[in-house]
Structure 1
Amino acid sequence: MADFNPPDERRSTAGSEGDVPNLAKLPRSGHSGTAGERQANGSANGADLREQPVSLPLGQSRQAYAAIDLGTNNCRLLIARPADANFVVIDAFSRVVRLGEGLAQTGRLSDQAMDRAVGALRVCSEKLKRRNVRLARSVATEACRRATNGAEFIERVRHETGIRLNVISAQEEARLAVLGCHILLEDGIGPAVIFDIGGGSTELVLIEPGAPVPHILDWQSVPWGVVSLTETVGDEGTDAASRLARYRKMHKLVADSFAGFAERIAPFRLPNLRLLGTSGTVTTLASLHLDLPQYDRKAVDGLVVPSESMRDIATRLSTMGPEERRRLPCIGNERADLVVAGCAILEAILDIWPATRLGVADRGIREGILRGLMSADALGIEAQAALRRLKQTIR
């Protein structure tokens, strides 16, 4: 089995079959160097992610595949089996670990944060052992990219859990997010934008939709996620005015970071803009829009919400105190202190790409990984079968 990897809820997920890891790359970006230097400038040259659809050979349908996504805030696992052109999730796990807590101040992963992440990954490891996992891939994102002790943490994870985490680049993170959720994009004409608000970074991707997967026209990643932005801006104050001032400061930081990208994609704005977001921020705000008593993925994943409704909710949350936010369904203790930063990032994105409707996805990197594993495995199996046929012909 390859390095360990994870799943989500128990449900059937429709998607494209054409993602083969590392064959199709995003345009090169400047997302490298120190945290202060890490401002990604996507290339306008574009990248074609399209590959031939792959049918999984008979006999492979009972094999399980796994994907683990260790982010700055969450550790998530998905295990799934192929089902025709789609896959069915058979096991899942998600836990808030706050791996990036304190990273903005120290540049390091704290001992407590690493302990929380390792504990969650032990659970993932046990789940992988109980399933017949044929292939797995485990990735880590911005917190491990940025931390000076990231490599040390990766080695600790391997030693204590057996999971070999691959610290992926921002461009690979954006690619996987697009592959994991693009099927939820509304039908329409012209380019669209897909975004992923994470704990330590946010990715914006301009795509030209197509089958089986879209063509990426431009993209950018900035080191502002709900954890990094919250910690950088600091305390929210004790009254509505100071909270609103803090919120505006967050919004400006994100808007300034995306200024170059916003200028590049402005010529692509057409009537009826399409926008799709994958993140805890958009799923949380969508839940509030629906007035759900508790989170329901089936009600949220694939929902299309008026952008003005999301802006109104963001404005209300920005001036609430933390105790008020904790009492709201679908926010609670885990998101109460981070949701305001997510709202600021979302509003900055809506300013850049002012779509009147926002698509909501509760899927992303893990689903992209799973499709990649299944397609790559199918290609390998088909190649082996072709080689056997060739040998028999030569005889």
Structure 2
Amino acid sequence: MNSENNNQAGKENGRHQKTPSVLPAGSSDVKAHQNKKNRKKKNRKNQKRRPAAPNIYGAIDLGTNNCRLLVAQKTSSGFKVLDSFSRVVRLGEGLGKTGVLSKEAIDRTIEALDICVSKIKRRGVTHMRNVATQACREASNCDAFIERVEKEVRIKLHIIDPMEEARLAVLGCKALLEKKYSRAIVFDIGGGSTELIWVKLCQDGLPEIIDWTSIPFGVVNLSEKYGTYERISDGKYKEMKQSILNSVAAFVEKNDMQVHTDQGQVQLLGTSGTITTLTAMHLGLETYDRNQVDGARVRSLHIRALCQKLSVLNYDERLALRGIGADRADLVVAGCAILESIMDLWPIDEIRVADRGIREGMLLDMMESHRPGQNNKPQNNKQRTRNKKRSRNKKARKDQKHDAALNNNPHVDNPRPHKKEEAAQ
């Protein structure tokens, strides 16, 4: 009766009151009901405190010779690599003669990209950036290739210009730039081009690119032009070197680099398959070990001696040497010619070796531009103004999300262990 009166009173006041359960004081049902309520409150608290899923970053670097992937998670000191992949695809094979990417090269590249996407899918990548460099910049059928990749592999490749390629290479290698120097020359010997970057080392440790140049000579197009399966004559080897020197002379003179070099203020830092392969050979490694190569310091005279030794051997003789694989043995002589030219231009006693570059640069760039939760709070006028100035980073994030969205139906392939990349770096 009391309960009915209470309900009637509630209705008259314009609201309905839920009839409470009438239970004896101290009843076990009361305790169970209270415990259930406490558990619900605790669960709601735990849900609020549960940390957001970590951001996982992926970067694909498709060059003239290699297809490379790196997947990582941000840490307080940089990032932790979760997965990686590298395969020689020779995308630029024959490009110098035909001006187009061949069907065979495209098929090899699609197969490698399929593996990359399988790894990206499995690792739950949330932010991606996928770039292509010299071969795609040069090929007349690049648009058709990009469309096929997007249709079949479900990722979008962005063709970057040489300036962006140089910026990413320096960003990826910045941890190996030493504060005791005021300048650095960073070189990246690729398959279809070579980037040379003149860097100022600021007091805060951050590198500032003063100038850069990209010359259209890499290990693939030079090897195709001069042929490297047979022994190259001394005259042809000198001709290769001279073509590099002629291409770089104006860059050296423009920046008055010799003054800083003579004063011992310049660090020489190299990132590419050529310098890492030669370093592994110099160290006497049976199999390539990134932990021993990345960050190593080697004497220029030792690397020059190796270059001169390799330049007089044919393919089979080079392949028989320790530390050089089949995919590098036919390209290494062209790489040696480029590297010797660099050492001629800048006679610096020591080379710092980097088994890192564009992939690492892309990861660091994404991690810097993306800050979790930054869009969850209202923005004041100052924040809006600041964000307008970050239009480039905003566009990059949009591309990353677009790429991740495309990656919803990857082709499944047999993945390789992430600690052993296929190609010798």
In the superposition, the TM-score normalised over structure 2's length comes to 0.74
Superposition map of 1:112-123 within 5 A:
112-123=104-115
- 2:55 is matched with 63
- 1:127 is matched with 119
Superposition map of 1:71-110 within 5 A:
71-110=63-102
Q: CA deviation at 1:350?
A: 1.0
Superposition map of 1:160-309 within 5 A:
160-210=152-202, 211=204, 213-234=206-227, 237-238=230-231, 242-264=232-254, 265-272=257-264, 273-309=266-302
- 2:344 is matched with 351
More helix by share: 2
Structure 1 CA distance for aligned equivalents of residues 68 and 328 of structure 2: 16
Structure 1 counterpart of 2:348, which letter? Answer: A
- 1:312 is matched with 305
Structure 2 counterpart of 1:169, which letter? Answer: D
Q: 2:228 touches 2:331 (CA, 8 Å); kept in 1? A: no
Structure 2 CA distance for aligned equivalents of residues 132 and 237 of structure 1: 46
Structure 2 CA distance for aligned equivalents of residues 151 and 201 of structure 1: 20
Listed one character per residue, the Cα deviations across residues 276-304 of structure 1 (whole Å, up to 9, x for unaligned) are 00000000010111111111000000001
Structure 1 386/120 Cα, relative in aligned 2: closer, same or farther at 3 Å? same
In structure 1, stretches of 5+ residues that fail to align are 1-57
SS of 1:133's equivalent in the other structure is coil
Q: CA deviation at 1:189?
A: 3.0
Q: Say whether residues 1:158 and 2:135 are aligned partners.
A: no
- The partner residue of 2:364 within 371, 379, 388 is 371
Give every structure 1 segment of 4 or more consecutive aligned residues whose post-TM-superposition deviation is greater than 4 Å: 58-61, 235-238
SS of 2:377's equivalent in the other structure is helix
Structure 1 CA distance for aligned equivalents of residues 180 and 262 of structure 2: 11
Structure 2 CA distance for aligned equivalents of residues 142 and 187 of structure 1: 32
Q: 1:195 touches 1:202 (CA, 8 Å); kept in 2? A: yes
Structure 1 counterpart of 2:331, which letter? Answer: L
Structure 1 CA distance for aligned equivalents of residues 261 and 333 of structure 2: 28
SS of 1:358's equivalent in the other structure is strand
- 1:6 is matched with none
More displaced stretch, 97-106 vs 60-69: 60-69
Structure 2 CA distance for aligned equivalents of residues 307 and 354 of structure 1: 8
Superposition map of 1:10-49 within 5 A:
none
Q: Say whether residues 1:143 and 2:143 are aligned partners.
A: no
Structure 2 CA distance for aligned equivalents of residues 361 and 320 of structure 1: 26
Q: CA deviation at 1:237?
A: 4.3
Structure 2 CA distance for aligned equivalents of residues 269 and 386 of structure 1: 51
Q: Count matched residues.
A: 330
Listed one character per residue, the Cα deviations across residues 75-100 of structure 1 (whole Å, up to 9, x for unaligned) are 00000001113100001111000000
Q: CA deviation at 1:385?
A: 3.3
More displaced stretch, 350-359 vs 228-237: 228-237
Larger Cα-atom Rg:
2
Structure 2 CA distance for aligned equivalents of residues 367 and 173 of structure 1: 12
Q: CA deviation at 1:255?
A: 1.1
Structure 2 CA distance for aligned equivalents of residues 244 and 255 of structure 1: 17
In structure 2, stretches of 5+ residues that fail to align are 1-49, 384-425
- The partner residue of 1:342 within 335, 340, 349 is 335
Structure 1 82/307 Cα, relative in aligned 2: closer, same or farther at 3 Å? same
Q: CA deviation at 1:321?
A: 1.2
Q: CA deviation at 1:60?
A: 6.2
Structure 1 CA distance for aligned equivalents of residues 378 and 152 of structure 2: 40
Q: 1:61 touches 1:82 (CA, 8 Å); kept in 2? A: no
Q: CA deviation at 1:373?
A: 0.7
Structure 1 counterpart of 2:336, which letter? Answer: C
SS of 1:221's equivalent in the other structure is strand
Listed one character per residue, the Cα deviations across residues 131-180 of structure 1 (whole Å, up to 9, x for unaligned) are 12110000000000000111111111111001100000011001000000
Q: 2:198 touches 2:211 (CA, 8 Å); kept in 1? A: yes
SS of 1:260's equivalent in the other structure is helix
SS of 2:188's equivalent in the other structure is strand
Q: 2:284 touches 2:323 (CA, 8 Å); kept in 1? A: no
Q: 2:101 touches 2:139 (CA, 8 Å); kept in 1? A: yes
In the superposition, the TM-score normalised over structure 1's length comes to 0.80
SS of 2:288's equivalent in the other structure is coil
Q: CA deviation at 1:247?
A: 1.5
More displaced stretch, 344-353 vs 97-106: 344-353
Q: In percent, how many aligned pairs have the same letter?
A: 49
Q: 1:233 touches 1:249 (CA, 8 Å); kept in 2? A: no
Q: CA deviation at 1:330?
A: 2.3
Structure 2 CA distance for aligned equivalents of residues 294 and 187 of structure 1: 32
More displaced stretch, 94-103 vs 128-137: 128-137
Q: CA deviation at 1:369?
A: 0.2
